[in-house]
Structure 1
Amino acid sequence: MRIIQIIDSLEAGGAERMAVNYANALGTIIEFSGLVATRKEGILLHQIEPSVSYLFLNKKKLIDFRALFKLHSFVLKNKVTHIHAHSTSFFLAFLLKLIHPSLQLIWHDHYGDSEFLNKRPMGALKMTLPFFNGIIAVNQKLKIWAEQKINFKNTVYLPNFPSEKKNCTVHTVLKGVTGKRIVCLANLRVQKNHFLLLEVARKLQQSHPEWTFHLIGKDFDDTYSKKIKDLIGAFTLEKNVFLYGTKQDIENILQQSTIGVLTSQSEGLPVALLEYGWLKKPVVVTDVGEISSLVANGKNGFLIATQQEYLFYQALVELIKSEVLQLEFGNALYKTIIGTYSKKAVMAQYLNWLKNSCK
């Protein structure tokens, strides 16, 4: 098989990370693996392996014929057989199919607001998805939605998996005290609900003032990020909560951290959680999306209902007080990921599905 991944940008989001992860993973196990960024490059550009052929389209509008034919030339030159379109790049894949009908199209649905699927726009999807051969969903809710709401039967749930790439020349140094850092890998978006994190940080400041929160993720300089910064000031958390923006050296950052958290109100299967587990970090996370399939409450992490700030705080304190529990949770989460959410396990499922179902 000769497969290219298509993604709108290479910013450090979950869908973008998975597009790069798939391209890199396939680079050594199939005849040809390519990656196409349509609208914008970004920090993940530096994580593309040499075995992957890369193309940037610099697409400027919804229907950009220059970008479309540039992509078509790339497909022809490399004898591509499958287009794996991530998130909103499905529309470009659809246009490509119109001029190259023999291509097999796969759509990877990373929709982050899977708790609010009743509000999801469906017009463009209903028009284009009949041209696709299969859908990959990042959680079971999205799989059921595709099967029932848009009547697409060849849908498979495949879990996200963490990157195993380790080399990075950048070296971020986290503030705070070694052994007392809590990290949150999440772009500053509404669905990530940083306001819950700040309420928890406010409580922890009173009981454990030496512990600090480290927020890694893209700042969009919008109303949401402004409110986060305003609340940090209003709660006098300037010495307890630190914002770093987008970073490349996630492994280095996690090695400096003690506990990983996610306070999301909606998720698919967050790549951040997989990265916590890959580095054996104990976690406290909200029970949304596919997280409960990975985290068993009290066994390999703490799983808390959304908007329950006091319960989240209590779980965090329990972890803080016990280094033994931190170690047990971290090791148990790592074992869970190795068994089901590793690159090797997911790639085996993916290639088997392509060979048997997407023809």
Structure 2
Amino acid sequence: MRILQLIDSLEAGGAERMAVNYGNALASCIDFSAVVSTRAEGPLKAALLPTTHYFFLNKKRALDPKAIWKLRQIVKRHKVEMVHAHSTSIVTAFLLKLFCPSIKLIWHDHYGDSNFLNKRDKGLFRMILPFFNGIISVNHDLKKWAIDQLHFANTVYIPNFPAVDLETTAAIRLEGEANKRIVCLANLRPQKNHFLLLEVALLVRQSHPDWTFHLIGKDFDDDYSFRIKAKIKALDLEQTIFLYGTQNAVQEILAQANIGILTSASEGLPVALLEYGLAKLAVVTTAVGEIPSIITEDTNGFLVLNQEATEFYEKLKQLIESTQLQNKFGLALNKTIKESYSQESALDVYMPWVQKIVK
């Protein structure tokens, strides 16, 4: 088979990381595997394996004939049979179909606000999805939504999977004391609910002032980012919370921490949680999206049901005060990820499914 992953950028987000992960994973088991970024490059370009083909369209606007024609040339030249479109690149894939009617299309739905699907606009999807051959959903709610609301039968749930990056740059060194670091791997977006993290950090500073929080993720320099930084300053948390922006060498960074947290108001299936497991971190996370299918309370992590600072703090405090519990949760989550959220288990579902579509 000859499959191309389509993604709008290579910034360090969950959908972008999965486009790279699929491109790399397939490079060793199909005839041709490529990743095409439509609008922007980014740090995840460094994570592409040498065996994964890469192309950049430099698309300037939604309807960019030059970019679509370039994509068509790539597809024709390399005899691509299927385009695997991630998230918002669905529009580019649809436009390609108008010029390459024989191409097979699948859409990978990474929608992060899956806790608020009742507010999701269906109009665009109902218009263009009849041109697609399949949908991959990253959690069960998204699969149900595709079947019930979009009436798309060939929908499959495939969990995200982590992959060790091919890093080309050295990891940054985190601030704070060793063995007293809490990391949050999340871009600065409203759905990630960093304001809850700030409330928790304030409580931790009062009880355990030597513990620090380390925020890894893209800063969009927007109103949300401004308000986060302003509140950190207003609460005098500048020596408790450190922001690092987008970073490579994620596993090396996570190795410097003891605990991983997610304070999200909504999620699909967060790659960050899988990476915490790969790094054997103990975790505290809100119970949103597909997270409760990964974390079993008091077994491989703590779930916070009500997104309330005091509840989150109390569970985090248990981890802070018990190295034994940190180790127990870290090892148990690592086992969960390797057994149920591995590249191999994902491809066991993916390969037979796409083979049927291609044939």
- TM-score band by shorter chain is over 0.9
**Mapped partners of 2:312, 2:96: distance in 1:** 47
For the pair 1:316 / 2:316, whether they are aligned, the reply is yes
The corresponding residue for 2:339 is 339
Shift in Å, 1:103 = 1.0
The corresponding residue for 2:89 is 89
Deviations 1:5-53 (A, max 9, x none): 0000000011000000100110111110011000011111111111111
**Mapped partners of 2:179, 2:244: distance in 1:** 19
CA contact under 8 A between 1:263 and 1:306: conserved in structure 2? no
**Mapped partners of 2:167, 2:40: distance in 1:** 23
Shift in Å, 1:208 = 0.3
**Mapped partners of 1:216, 1:244: distance in 2:** 5
- The one-letter code matched in structure 2 to 1:194 is H
Taking the TM superposition and a 5 Å limit, the aligned residue runs for 1:205-354 are: 205-354=205-354
Gaps of at least 5 residues in structure 1 are: none
**Mapped partners of 1:262, 1:168: distance in 2:** 27
**Mapped partners of 1:133, 1:28: distance in 2:** 24
**Mapped partners of 1:170, 1:67: distance in 2:** 34
**Mapped partners of 1:26, 1:11: distance in 2:** 21
**Mapped partners of 1:107, 1:93: distance in 2:** 9
Shift in Å, 1:164 = 2.1
CA contact under 8 A between 2:217 and 2:247: conserved in structure 1? yes
Taking the TM superposition and a 5 Å limit, the aligned residue runs for 1:31-46 are: 31-46=31-46
The corresponding residue for 2:73 is 73
The corresponding residue for 1:157 is 157
**Mapped partners of 1:244, 1:306: distance in 2:** 28
CA contact under 8 A between 2:107 and 2:134: conserved in structure 1? yes
**Mapped partners of 1:346, 1:317: distance in 2:** 35
Please give the secondary structure, in 1, of the residue aligned with 2:352.
helix
CA contact under 8 A between 2:205 and 2:240: conserved in structure 1? yes
Shift in Å, 1:323 = 0.8
- The one-letter code matched in structure 2 to 1:124 is L
The corresponding residue for 1:2 is 2
For the pair 1:51 / 2:79, whether they are aligned, the reply is no
CA contact under 8 A between 2:9 and 2:40: conserved in structure 1? yes
Shift in Å, 1:165 = 2.5
The corresponding residue for 2:125 is 125
**Mapped partners of 2:168, 2:52: distance in 1:** 18
CA contact under 8 A between 1:288 and 1:306: conserved in structure 2? no
Shift in Å, 1:306 = 3.9
**Mapped partners of 1:356, 1:317: distance in 2:** 50
Shift in Å, 1:305 = 1.4
Bigger shift: 348-357 or 327-336?
348-357
Shift in Å, 1:168 = 3.6
Shift in Å, 1:358 = 5.9
- The one-letter code matched in structure 1 to 2:56 is F
CA contact under 8 A between 1:134 and 1:358: conserved in structure 2? no
Q: TM-score normalised to the size of structure 1?
A: 0.98
Shift in Å, 1:61 = 1.1
**Mapped partners of 2:63, 2:291: distance in 1:** 36
Shift in Å, 1:357 = 5.2
Shift in Å, 1:351 = 0.5
Please give the secondary structure, in 2, of the residue aligned with 1:337.
helix
- The one-letter code matched in structure 1 to 2:88 is T
Gaps of at least 5 residues in structure 2 are: none
**Mapped partners of 2:63, 2:8: distance in 1:** 14
Shift in Å, 1:148 = 0.2
- The one-letter code matched in structure 2 to 1:97 is K
CA contact under 8 A between 2:46 and 2:167: conserved in structure 1? no
Deviations 1:92-151 (A, max 9, x none): 111111211111100000111111111112221111000101000011110000000010
Bigger shift: 97-106 or 208-217?
97-106
Q: Identical aligned pairs, as a percentage?
A: 58
**Mapped partners of 2:133, 2:242: distance in 1:** 45
Deviations 1:225-249 (A, max 9, x none): 1111111111110110000000001
Shift in Å, 1:340 = 1.0
**Mapped partners of 2:166, 2:83: distance in 1:** 27
Deviations 1:244-264 (A, max 9, x none): 000001011101000000000
**Mapped partners of 1:227, 1:235: distance in 2:** 12
- The one-letter code matched in structure 1 to 2:352 is N
**Mapped partners of 1:223, 1:354: distance in 2:** 41
**Mapped partners of 1:312, 1:157: distance in 2:** 30
